Amino acid sequence: MASTNQRVLSLLSVLLLILQRCHAFEFKVGGSQGWAVPTDAALFNHWAEKARFQIGDSLLFVYSSDHDSVLHVSKEDYASCSADKPLDKFTDGHTVYKLDQSGPHYFISGVAENCHKNEKLIVVVMADRSNKTAAAPSPSEGMSPPSPAPAGEESPPPPPAEETNPTPAPSEESSPAKNAASSVASAVVGTVAVLFGSSFALAL
């Protein structure tokens, strides 16, 4: 009985990990060109502007480890192409960098000449996917309640509430192609998890 329960917990843990991976995306930096000196000066930042990065996503840098590297740097070091104090340094040729906090992230080539030829990238990470709604402001936050109407008159209708949407919906251009496949995978994994959980619960 105890070993059955342990197997159920192990299986559910694996399914949860798969489900989490289905919601995160891996973006190949620079598309088919990869991480190299760009032919177009603004190639990397134009590429980044077309994508929508969120916490949990990752960047894949593909490059020749013999001739290049990836440095995660401060804004100042990005601007000056300084490789003296990187926050992180990667030299493996197939670097996966997980985006674990919102805000801007700065990357440059570890080869100064390449960086000065615009092999550099700024990625702006949105909030976590699970944080989809913002709380509506309470009346005490700058909204005064309407004053009552004089006796015998009808009160005016309340003003319409403003809709808040903290993150815009992704356009077809900015969404990775994996969105549809990810939704299908999530549905399949969720269904499998429910079926396994039900059958093991009945077996107990």
**Which CATH number does the domain housing residue 74 bear?**
2.60.40.420
pLDDT beneath 50, residues of the chain: 14-21, 132-147, 149, 155-156, 158-189, 195
Task: Let me know if residue 177 belongs to a domain.
Answer: no
Write out the residue range of the structural domain in which residue 56 sits. Answer: 25-130
The pLDDT score that the predictor gives to residue 109 is 97
The pLDDT score that the predictor gives to residue 36 is 95
Q: In what order do the strands lie in the sheet with 94-98?
A: 26-28, 58-62, 94-98
Task: Let me know if residue 18 belongs to a domain.
Answer: no
Task: Let me know if residue 190 belongs to a domain.
Answer: no
The pLDDT score that the predictor gives to residue 31 is 86
Task: Let me know if residue 169 belongs to a domain.
Answer: no
Task: Let me know if residue 19 belongs to a domain.
Answer: no
The pLDDT score that the predictor gives to residue 127 is 72
pTM of the model: 0.56
- Bridging pattern class, strands 120-126 and 53-54: parallel
Task: Let me know if residue 149 belongs to a domain.
Answer: no
The pLDDT score that the predictor gives to residue 18 is 46
Task: Let me know if residue 157 belongs to a domain.
Answer: no
The pLDDT score that the predictor gives to residue 141 is 41
Q: CA 87, CA 81: separation in Å to the nearest integer?
A: 13
The pLDDT score that the predictor gives to residue 41 is 82
The pLDDT score that the predictor gives to residue 172 is 36
Domain count, the chain: 1
Task: Let me know if residue 172 belongs to a domain.
Answer: no
